[in-house]
Amino acid sequence: HGAGGSEKSDSAGFASRVAAAVRSGRFPQAICVFPNGGMSGYRGEVESMIIDELIPLIDNSYPTRADASGRVICGFSMGGAGSVHLSISHPEMFCAAGSWGGALSFRGNPEDSPLLSLAKDHAEKLKRQQFALITINGDQDRPQAFLLLQETFRDLGIRHETVILDDTDHNLGKYYERGGDLLIEFLAERLEKTSNPSR
């Protein structure tokens, strides 16, 4: 969720889309989890809670594929940026990440983002996981938000798809309407690929 939101901000809309995709066979069976990130940017204590407590709790409680090949992460705004941050910071945890309306840096210069150097440091681990990233931004919502990361990933040989939606500002409903299926299809393809590497 975005800054100021909660675990209830967008869960119903996204969960229903994933459920529909599962029913139609377009997405593998999945457990959708919506943590409350507060205003954290999914860093600090919230990052530790998700990585060290929440994910192990889910894996111990449900019949999951308990490694990176069975996990993806995505979000909107702060949640989108947080998904990118968590996936690059913890390359052993996720095979793919997606962002709607996120940014490499909401404040300050994108060139100063620690994720750029972190991506280089973790490049080999990310490639071993067959990690891939999709970032979706509106043409009125920082369309160049992840350009530097895209260039870094390209140089490192890591897949990063960038989508710019027409006539779209920082509005979750518009992202669901115009980019929801794109993100779900991307994540489904990654889960299928990592579970069946020969395909």
> What is the gyration radius of the CA atoms in the chain, in angstroms?
16
Asked if residue 11 has pLDDT above 70, the reply is no
pLDDT interval class at 170 (50, 70, 90): very high
pLDDT for the residue 194 = 87
CATH number at residue 185: 3.40.50.1820
Q: Are strands 72-76 and 96-100 parallel, antiparallel or unpaired?
A: parallel
pLDDT digits (tens, 9 = 90+) for 56-74: 999 999 999 999 999 999 9
- 179 found inside a domain: yes
Contact between 39 and 3 under an 8 Å Cβ cutoff? The reply is yes
Here the tokens at position 49 are: 């809670």
State which residues form the domain around 22.
11-195
**Has residue 34 been placed in a domain?**
yes
Q: Does residue 6 belong to any structural domain of this protein?
A: no
172 domain residue, yes or no: yes
Is 1 a domain residue?
Answer: no
Decide if 94 is inside a domain.
yes
In a domain, 120, yes or no: yes
Q: What percent of the chain has pLDDT over 70?
A: 91
In angstroms, the Cα distances linking 165 to 3, 22, 112, 121, 140 are: 22, 25, 26, 31, 9
Q: What is the pLDDT of residues 127-136, one digit of tens each?
A: 999 999 999 9
pLDDT band at 22 (very low <50, low <70, confident <90, very high): very high
- 21 located within any domain: yes
Place of tokens 């997405």: 27
Q: What single-letter DSSP state applies at residue 63?
A: -
Assess contact for 74 and 187: CB atoms under 8 A.
yes
Report CA torsion sign: 9, 15, 20, 25: positive
Measured between its terminal Cα atoms, the distance across the chain in Å is 33
Count how many domains the chain has.
1
